[in-house]
Structure 1
Amino acid sequence: MVVPVDYGKLDGRTTTVAISRVRAGDPERRRGVLLSNPGGPGAEGLDSLDLLGDVLSPEVLAGYDLIGMDPRGVGRSGRTGRCGWPVGEMIRSAGVDLLGFAHDTVQSAGMAASCLVRDPELLRQFTTRNTARDMDIVRSALREEKISYYGTSYGTYLGAVYTQMFPERGDRIVLDSAIDPDRYWEGLVQDWGPADEIALDDWAGWAAARDDTYRLGATPRQVRAGVEELVRAAARQPIVVDGFAVDDHWLPFILHGMLMNYRINAAVAETVRELADAAGGPPTRSRSPRLAAIVAALRDGENSTLAQIACGDSAAMTDLGSYWRNIEDSRVTQPVFGALASNVEPCAFWPRPVEAPTVVRNSVPALIVQATGDPRTPYAHGLRLHQDMAGSRMVTLQDVRIHMTFRPGLSACVNEAINTYFDAGTLPESDTTCHADPSTP
């Protein structure tokens, strides 16, 4: 589809948005379209069947066209190409000292400039509000009065913004692992710090019970102490794996990415064990495919689309001294992740957003699903969005450390609530608590 770059200039430049459609399994039972977003910001969303095909019930698959969409600036929807970043991610820890923070500050400024030097007019329009407008163009192009929607992680922010901007256009809205719009983007990242520390403690208990296998410590305290020492060791001498230096900036980021799913506890333990074995030694090659993939992404990839959308959506602090003070203040209670959650990002050097962030306060019906142990979108975010969307119901997945709850074999209770809503349009009569299935590993 062709859409305006700037919806305030409908006769100006245009860009394209790519969508996909998997038609409803039973045309006679078809009730509409179900659009989805897998998160990010910056994740490609065309493959709606891969995201939802193994968790939606046969009845829902029969009744909806599944609509995938690459948001503007992402994938086949006008991604601008690489900015030329020296590292793959804009999110990383400031490290253990002021010198590390100074390094990240200079690097972040360069990362922002290298993106904006080419076409700032275009990049500044890669915003969630514009993507919501694009979604409504999709709805109109498909000749639908309303759209149903499933969004996870960042997709919940996009969905919430859509309900605020187009309150009459949403049909059955499911927001899985929700972001509090008032905390997006910088506030969300800050909230990762304490949530990641809790997740680390939870994993440390699991690893301590398996000390015979992983040799990371016989008690949770020993496991945590070992991780904290490994970060300090990586600061003294980076752990070079597959040509990439895993140092005190990147080790917390690697852990942050892995701790959001208890189902990969063993992979976390194997990764920590592998890095601990390599610490203080010569450059080495990765032993596990998972670590190899992580290192390759940091060494060779570039997630600049995240910056283009997040920085375009929400203004960040520009007082560099405040970042450092926040980092130092966080170290006592957040020894591993405080310097990541409070670190400077390219957003500090980005132009101010072209529009103010959307304030979400509405009564549009929606189903919000949140795990209490989610470190990526902490539980408090779901509670706050539930309050702000007065017509919503909330399903809590209790005592589970996981991000994205709509998964095969995780909780039949969660899956039933979501499928029932999409199929029958029935929200729970009241907020509901679910648990992981007993057979879940």
Structure 2
Amino acid sequence: MPTSRHIKALAACVAVFAATATTASASADPDPFARFHGQRVDWHACTLGAGDELGKELDAAGADCADITVPLDYADPGGRTITVAISRLKATDTAHRVGPLLLNDGGPAGPSLRMPVTKSKVMGDAADRYDLIGMDPRFVGRSTPLDCGWDLGSAPLRSAGAEPAAYREEVAVARELAGRCKRAHGDVLLYVTTRNTARDMDVIRVALGEDTLSYLGYSYGSYLGEVYTQLFPGRTDRMVLDGVSLPERYSHTMLRGAEAANEAALRAWASWAAARHGTYGLGATRGEVLATVQHILGAAADEPLRIGEAYLLDEHVLPFVFIGGLGSDLDERRAALAKTVRLLARAADRKPVEPSEELAGQLEFLLTKAGSAPASQMTAIICGDVAERRGVGSYWRAVEESRERFPLAGPLANNITPCEFWDRPAEAPTVLDNDIPALLVNATGDPRTLYAGAEAMREQWPSSRLLTVEGARQHGLYGEYGNACVDERVNAYLRTGRLPAHDLTCEA
């Protein structure tokens, strides 16, 4: 736990850093971050070895990579350091160069080094005006690593289960996962936060020799962008937040409040699958498809589903497989979920099932050590930001209250997490009280970052504009949904820096 003296020192240092982040202080005091701001950026090839497919992809696209040194603890800039990995595709239209466009793929804990390659394709000639910067946030991907060594089923979100006994298992798992993280990385967990990642972004900006950053962030990445604007006012140029996360809703039960949207997405998918009963055999009506889903969930509650020789899928992890498949209403993603549900239905009937390649990849991540690092990184960021002790019984009461209306999403969204057993964060959650020009992008049926949150963010930032996709149940739109209207509007803003005169709507 941080001491009160440590917290006071951190708060004082943050105030100095936020006010003087770009250059040495205007006063006679030396810049305490001079060694980070003045560091030489050593750009190099991205491939780390023969099996490094990410590095090969980046190198083939003409990108280069670097490691930026940042303080572990911004209250102690003379102390321990860590590195943050970045990638870059340099601007080719130097006559119209805007500057760096930093990219974040969400998560929390989403690696983003590949993004300059993927986003340059949708940006078209707008990409030529930017140095496209991918960043693996602190303790993620190629940055200084963090892995809590979880092997208890490392699904980022777990469901409470059907009975009190199952929930007691969840309490034990959450306590054990928190304990493992503390034992493995207790010396750094206090600093695994969104606010520190935002501070790292500003070190990157200064090290690159730039006065401002442009930014494109998805989902959690929108929250990271919002935090950056609060800590470093006046340091942003063009801002695109896609899948807008309202800071007030950011908590360690991140899907809480989105149960209705996820259940609606489930019903919409069930109607889609029913219309294709001849292909998938899940039911000829929406009700029949939903009954198949309930049969699968009930069977897993009775006894874990065996998938191939390697995997047992229980009632705690199974709902995440469903919810994970409901983030898009694109036919290809709905079809992928339908194929998975067809396999799960056979397993629920206790028939032999071999997982598809896609399902095997999911289960490898969710049920084995392969998912330990990403899951523990995501958890560490959320808990480091907003952990609070609610009391073990409060989660079960919330689960029971939500279960009747939201049988799939309720027990998942309201379940206990390791944050219940985490040390108290060093800093309070970020409160926005600014107003900046930004382009906010959201679908009305987004089951992750709710459209109401995007509307609230638009009201909070009157200088922003909201680009709405009407009727879509899609999380992540720009370059992800194949909607020409969205892509053209975002590219026009990135190209010119001019926001639309008023809010805009695109059809799904």
What is the TM-score normalised by the length of structure 1? 0.95
1:246 matches 2:313:
yes
Does the 8 A contact of 1:239 with 1:280 survive in 2? no
Gaps of 5+ in 2: 1-67
Q: Does structure 2 conserve the Cα–Cα contact (< 8 Å) formed by 1:318 and 1:349?
A: no
CA gap of 1:117–1:106, structure 2 versus 1, over 3 A, is same
Query: Any idea what the Cα deviations from partners look like across 1:40-96, whole Å, max 9, x if unmatched?
Result: 1111111222341221121x1111000111111111211123423311224111111
Residue 327 of structure 2 is matched in structure 1 by 260
Is 1:281 aligned to residue 381 of structure 2?
no
Instruction: State the one-letter code of the partner of 1:247.
Output: D
The equivalent position to 2:452 in structure 1, one of 380, 392, 411, is: 380
1:202 and 2:268 equivalent? Answer: yes
Whole-angstrom distance in 1 between the partners of 2:480 and 2:76? 44
SS of aligned partner of 1:188: coil
The Cα of 1:12 is off from its aligned counterpart by 1.8
1:314 aligns with 2:314: no
2:211 aligned partner, one-letter code: E
Number of residue-to-residue matches in the alignment: 434
Question: Does the aligned pair in 1 maintain the 2:252–2:417 contact within 8 Å?
Answer: no
Other-structure match for 1:163: 229
- CA distance in structure 1 between the aligned counterparts of 2:359 and 2:266, rounded to whole angstroms: 18
Question: 1: distance between equivalents of 2:424 and 2:260?
Answer: 28
Give the residue type in structure 1 aligned to 2:350. G
Are 1:364 and 2:436 counterparts? yes
Per-residue CA deviations over 1:227-285 (Å, capped at 9, x if unaligned) read: 11210111112111132211221221101111101121111111111110121326642
**Equivalence map 1:134-153=2 (5 Å):** 134-153=200-219
Shift in CA distance, 418/319, structure 1 to aligned 2, threshold 3 Å: same
Q: Which runs of at least 4 in structure 1 moved beyond 6 Å after TM superposition? A: none
Aligned residue among 453, 472, 493 for 1:400: 472
Instruction: Give the direction of change, closer, same or farther, for the CA distance of 1:85–1:361 in structure 2 (3 Å limit).
Output: farther
Tell me which of 334, 346, 353 is aligned to 2:406: 334
Whether the 8 Å contact between 1:90 and 1:346 is mirrored in structure 2 is no
Q: Which residue of 1 aligns with 2:461?
A: 389
- For the residue of structure 2 that corresponds to 1:17, the secondary structure is strand
Separation of aligned partners in 1, 2:164 and 2:421 = 19
Say yes or no: does 1:272 pair with 2:272.
no
Which of 228, 231, 236 is the equivalent residue of 2:297?
231
5+ residue gaps, structure 1, are 437-441
1:128 matched to 2:194: yes
Residue 18 of structure 1 pairs with residue 85 of structure 2: yes
**RMSD between aligned residues:** 1.4
Report 1 or 2 for greater relative contact order, CA contacts < 8 Å, sequence distance ≥ 6.
1
Q: Which has the larger radius of gyration?
A: 2
Q: How much does 1:375 deviate?
A: 0.7
The answer to whether the 8 A contact 1:4-1:15 is kept is yes
Task: Name the SS of the counterpart of 1:118 in structure 2.
Answer: helix
- The structure 2 residue matched to 1:98, chosen from 142, 164, 169, is 164
SS of the equivalent of 1:190 reads: coil
**Is the CA contact 2:253–2:417 (under 8 Å) kept in the aligned structure 1?**
no
State the TM-score, normalizing by the size of structure 2: 0.83
Counterpart of 1:298 in structure 2: which amino acid? L
Match of residue 101 from structure 2: 34
- Note if contact 2:479-2:487 (Cα within 8 Å) is conserved in structure 1: yes
Offset of residue 317 of structure 1: 3.9
Q: Work out the CA distance in 2 between the residues paired with 1:228 and 1:281.
A: 15
Letter paired with 1:281: R
Which shows bigger deviation, 214-223 or 325-334? 214-223
Query: Are residue 3 (structure 1) and residue 109 (structure 2) matched?
Result: no
